[in-house]
Structure 1
Amino acid sequence: MEAGAVAPGTMLGALAESARLHQPVSTVVMAEALATRKDVAEAQARHYGAMALDRAAHPPDPALSHLLPANFCLAHGVLPWIRIGDTLVLATARPEHYDDLLELLPPDIGPVVMAVATEADIHDEIAQRHGNAMAAAAENWVREEDSCRDLNTSSPAATALAILASLICLSLLATAPALLFTIGLLLALGSLLVSQGMKLAALIAVPRRLASTRHTLPPHPPVVSILVPLFHEQEIARTLVKRLSRLTYPKSLLDVVLVLEAEDTVTRTTVDRTALPPWIRTIVVPPGRIRTKPRALNYAFRFTRGAIVGIYDAEDAPAPDQIDQVVSAFDSAPAKVGCLQGILDFYNPRANWLSRCFAVEYASWFRILLPGFARMGFAVPLGGTTVFFRREALEEVRGWDAHNVTEDADLGIRLARYGWRTEMIRSVTREEANNRFWPWIKQRSRWLKGYVITWWVHSRHPRRLWHDLGPKRFFGMQALFMGTILQFAFAPVLWSFWLILAGLPHPLDPWIGRGGILALTVIFLTAEGMTLLVGMAALARSPHRALFPWVPTLFAYFPLGTVAIYKALWETLRNPFFWDKTQHGHSSPDTPGADIPPDREL
């Protein structure tokens, strides 16, 4: 106020908001854009009688980088800046906590004096000093026994086993093709029956009546950090800021981080041209041996301060009160609920046939199957967005596997193995349906490749998996992952029976009589009926009831997954860590406002 940066009446409101949220008034002033970060730092320096440091005008001494670990500096918002004689000038972005910080400093650090700097300057200097080491650590943060990073290496025993299996299959193909085909049929039928049984169980488990979505913030609401990884996003930045600005959670408690790759000049240029509100900032991930979304998340996580950490994608449009619901749900949930998964939906379901079927599939997954699996106590594979974690849960499981191309599904299983529970919330995020044929195939092949990798990682030590999950969740995990993989991979075996309807000879004609054909027909029709039933039930719980007539066309939609699985299996052998990026911004919302989910979901 003395500097004329904030009017007294405005500051009175900021003080009231500070008291309501139990946050420093400096945080409120910056979040509400009442003053710049530099103005606040200078005012804090005058208030505390300390120096105000600016990285451009007073560069820090990199020779002091060894005095405090990078993670300690990030956690407490401090940085050893310079020495004046024997005295260390310790810059802080949180001067109100400086006295508490002194008790945590190592005893041999010597005499210290406080200075004030912006958190952005402190983060930038830490990234410059330690960025490469932190990026390397982000690639290997997950414990080796929990990671797939050794997938492209194989032991002599594994190589010999693979060669033996291949030789057996080739021998059967040459000498007993009917037997080989029969084995394939049994695997296809088994996976089909298991998959449909899981769908039926989930449908029965989902409650018929949904509880109220009322929520109340706790007396001391926490800071929530949101990570938004961006890569090759040229058109989405301005729209993303607009959609995130609708969030009603207090901006003083919201820490949104746009995660950019150092070599991605397209997105960095786009973001630089976009006016970001004070509660949105950027983190640039240094280059490394791999470039994946989970690696970027692991790196950026170290720069966050929220007790709750969430993930959004570039094209996401969350419900305005979504963060309020998340905070309220965590506050009332048991301490071992480490993750909350929201509902994903689309704002362009009527763009074409592919988007309509995609919307039906998403409705089935997020409104019937996942809630049903969670209610039955199974380990829940997460979605890649609208997922929120307690910070301590992420730290215990060590974040995301940087080498897994479906880091979300893997993390869901790993959380369960470490004793954390995942629950579903009814808050919706709408995003863009991928409705172009080849991009859809590429996206689905990445998901299925990740399913293959995730199943292998967690099943390579079955005794340990059994011990961690228990019998029910062990079999649930196997049924979900292995069932999905086998169902898509062996679907052509089931399609071959169309030859019989066409009056053409079938390889199993000598083995299957009229009774066998009748039994197979009943199984196929029952499976299709279950798919229709789940699709209809899911749409009845969504705002997309107009898509009911399109549910029967799913019989032509799911075979696309078979194309994707063969691409996925080939990539698993040739390039398991390749991240086939999905491009966004090609399909606009169906109608104005279609990207604004309601606060109250059906």
Structure 2
Amino acid sequence: MKGFRLPRVSVLVPLLHEEEIAQALIARLSWLTYPKSLLEVVLVLEASDSLTRKTIARTPLPPWISVIEVPDAGALKTKPRALNYALDFCRGSIIGVWDAEDAPEPDQIEQIVTRFQNAPENVACLQGILDFYNSRSNWMARCFAIEYATWWRVILPGVARLGLVVPLGGTTLFFRRDILERLGAWDAHNVTEDADLGLRLARRGYVTELIPTTTFEEANCRPWPWVRQRSRWLKGYLITWAVHMQRPRALLQDLGLRRFIGVQAIFLATVSQFALAPLLWSLWLSVFGLYHPVTDWLAPPLMTAIFALFILSELLNLCASVIAVSNRGQRHLLPWVITFPLYFALGAVAAAKALYELYRSPHFWDKTAHGHTLPHYVRPQKKTPKNLPRAGPLPASIGS
């Protein structure tokens, strides 16, 4: 950390109806090793959220942690709106975001500051890697951990190496403040404000990099809360796609053909694969000799090719998951990879809920409950996990 003047870093932590998580969050943030005189953690509360406010009031806060209350503004109570309001009160030149249940590695801020210092000026955002600290809680937690490992350690780096636009995660994001403000910060009406901001960064020619620092989260390991969380993500993807596709020619000019197609594959196809899953599953009726209307239109060789494509796609997904959890810290998840298709069956329910809400209440923020597995959490080590690179950023430049 020698050779340049350390900047002030402000990290926003939005909280809403958090009774179980607040005290644990403050304890975890105290493990950060960045100089506290240059660190500003802002807990962002809704003015009407008396539950979280009372919880925070019972916990002594160090001087580098402050609380900002976001005034009520009608029915719109979204995370991006709260972030936009709190941004004006931050003093840092680097702005970060963590979620309520996060446990960042103690030296995470040092890694962020060092990379921003050495990166080109057009590197606007650094995205850390997400993992779960409760992956042994139950079957859903194990499958969620497999999904995250596959996304963050296999799929996302691969997509980035192809030069496609990568949607940001909702946490462990760090921005150059001047660029963030130049883009107008977050879209207050989008329930996946992170994905939208990542796409806007790419359209303006800025670069996002993945860096090898991990933040541990709590896996959503109960069926209905999982569906609620996933439906919000899918709805947000649809909103993001629809907003940016209002002028498809402009989007094509900003991104180029390859990344334009990538946006369709990432945002639209992610939703459609879940929404159309029941229809695709029904095709298996014909395999067992039952009638399906599609057989009146498709010849037997074409049906055989479709089933072969289904099987091959599923095998590729399973292979990617096996690779993702083959490191020493996640090998306990290997036996559960074979059950992964059953886990994703819930995605069809989430997609139906997302489509319904897109019509009835597109800006409704379905809150994810936290704090159900706190007793199982252990303090992370300062070292970067062995399955991540130890030097330099991952080759995940986006937007260049």
1:259 aligned residue: 44
Is the contact made by 1:325 and 1:427 (CA closer than 8 Å) also made in structure 2? Answer: yes
Equivalents in 2 of 1:510, 1:416: separation in Å? 45
2:100 aligned residue: 314
2:28 aligned residue: 243
Q: Which runs of 5+ in 2 are unaligned?
A: 388-400
- Matching of residue 388 in structure 1 with residue 388 in structure 2: no
Of 371, 380, 383, which aligns to 1:599?
Answer: 383
Change over 3 Å in CA distance of 1:277–1:459 after alignment to 2: same
1:461 aligned residue: 247
Deviation at 1:509, TM superposition (A): 2.3
Change over 3 Å in CA distance of 1:473–1:236 after alignment to 2: same
Equivalents in 2 of 1:500, 1:367: separation in Å? 37
Equivalents in 2 of 1:225, 1:402: separation in Å? 20
2:292 aligned residue: 506
TM superposition score normalised by structure 1? 0.63
Equivalents in 2 of 1:589, 1:344: separation in Å? 20
Deviation at 1:280, TM superposition (A): 0.4
Deviation at 1:217, TM superposition (A): 5.2
Equivalents in 2 of 1:246, 1:217: separation in Å? 21
- Matching of residue 411 in structure 1 with residue 197 in structure 2: yes
Deviation at 1:398, TM superposition (A): 0.7
Deviation at 1:599, TM superposition (A): 2.1
1:100-119 matched pairs, under 5 angstroms? none
Of 83, 107, 110, which aligns to 1:324?
Answer: 110
Q: Which runs of 5+ in 1 are unaligned?
A: 1-215
Deviation at 1:547, TM superposition (A): 0.5
1:269 aligned residue: 54
2:390 aligned residue: none
1:339-418 matched pairs, under 5 angstroms? 339-418=125-204
* Matched residue type, 2:211: I
TM superposition score normalised by structure 2? 0.94
> CA-to-partner distance for each residue in 1:26-80, whole Å, 9 max, x for gaps?
xxxxxxxxxxxxxxxxxxxxxxxxxxxxxxxxxxxxxxxxxxxxxxxxxxxxxxx
Identity across matched positions, percent: 57
1:491 aligned residue: 277
Deviation at 1:539, TM superposition (A): 1.1
Equivalents in 1 of 2:283, 2:184: separation in Å? 47
Of 286, 304, 307, which aligns to 1:521?
Answer: 307
- Kindly indicate whether structure 1 or structure 2 has the higher relative contact order, using CA contacts under 8 Å at least 6 residues apart: 2
Equivalents in 2 of 1:286, 1:218: separation in Å? 42
* Matched residue type, 2:59: T
Aligned residue for 1:226, secondary structure, equals strand
* Matched residue type, 2:255: L
- Matching of residue 226 in structure 1 with residue 11 in structure 2: yes
1:550 aligned residue: 336
Equivalents in 2 of 1:469, 1:247: separation in Å? 38
Deviation at 1:514, TM superposition (A): 3.0
Change over 3 Å in CA distance of 1:438–1:542 after alignment to 2: farther
1:81 aligned residue: none
Change over 3 Å in CA distance of 1:589–1:388 after alignment to 2: farther
> CA-to-partner distance for each residue in 1:483-515, whole Å, 9 max, x for gaps?
112111111121012212332111122333431
Deviation at 1:598, TM superposition (A): 4.6
Equivalents in 1 of 2:129, 2:231: separation in Å? 22
Of 420, 423, 427, which aligns to 2:206?
Answer: 420
Deviation at 1:281, TM superposition (A): 0.5
The structure that has the greater radius of gyration is 1
1:61 aligned residue: none
Aligned residue for 1:276, secondary structure, equals coil
Stretch deviating more after TM superposition (497-506 or 245-254): 497-506
Deviation at 1:218, TM superposition (A): 4.7
